[in-house]
């Protein structure tokens, strides 16, 4: 009798690394979503930031060019706190979808890529709709988030050939 064993497809190293990074990012997203939606952490952090910024402004003087940047940071922080519950719930939902997609890709299933893509784009849409137009600082952080998401989507896309 021939003893033929079929080896399961091997996950490429790049896919393993980006999946692990995505698992960590998804877990962090769940934690941040929980804090935003179910605790008063955003409000407490905003109050602490206001005190620190006020102290910094008093030390620098009102005519310092950094005063405008600090005012912009405060406006973005206030807008984030105003929408903390919405952002928290969406963060939890998109993190769960993303984690499901990453788990499927970890197991070499192509459908995971599409779940991950939906979660990434959906998370960005929510962030842009809530924080977009919030000035240079807010837009810069949104663009950085978009670039990171696009890089991961491309890296997963390159690995689609290894998935079934």
Give per-residue pLDDT as tens, 131-162.
Answer: 876 677 778 888 999 999 999 999 999 999 99
Taking the C-alpha atoms of residue 121 and residue 101, their distance in angstroms, rounded to an integer, is 13
Give per-residue pLDDT as tens, 33-88.
Answer: 999 999 999 999 989 988 887 887 778 776 777 777 777 878 888 888 999 999 99
Q: Are 137 and 130 in contact (CB under 8 A)?
A: no
Taking the C-alpha atoms of residue 156 and residue 15, their distance in angstroms, rounded to an integer, is 7
Give per-residue pLDDT as tens, 98-138.
Answer: 999 999 999 999 999 999 999 999 999 999 998 876 677 77
End-to-end CA distance of the chain: 30
Taking the C-alpha atoms of residue 22 and residue 43, their distance in angstroms, rounded to an integer, is 28
């Amino acid at each position: 009798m021939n003893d033929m064993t079929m080896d399961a497809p091997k996950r490429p190293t790049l896919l393993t690394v980006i999946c692990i990074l995505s698992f960590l990012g998804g877990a962090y997203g769940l934690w941040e979503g929980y804090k935003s939606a179910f605790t008063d952490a955003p409000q407490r952090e905003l109050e602490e930031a206001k005190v620190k910024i006020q102290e910094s402004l008093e030390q620098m003087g009102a005519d310092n060019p950094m005063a405008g940047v600090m005012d912009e940071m405060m406006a973005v922080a206030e807008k984030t706190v105003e929408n903390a519950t919405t952002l928290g719930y969406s963060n939890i939902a998109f993190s769960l979808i993303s984690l499901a997609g990453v788990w499927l890709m970890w197991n070499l299933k192509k459908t995971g890529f599409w779940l991950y893509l939906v979660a990434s784009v959906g998370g960005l849409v929510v962030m842009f709709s809530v924080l977009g137009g919030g000035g240079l600082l807010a837009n810069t952080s949104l663009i950085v988030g978009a670039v990171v998401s696009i890089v991961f989507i491309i890296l997963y896309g390159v690995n689609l050939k290894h998935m079934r």
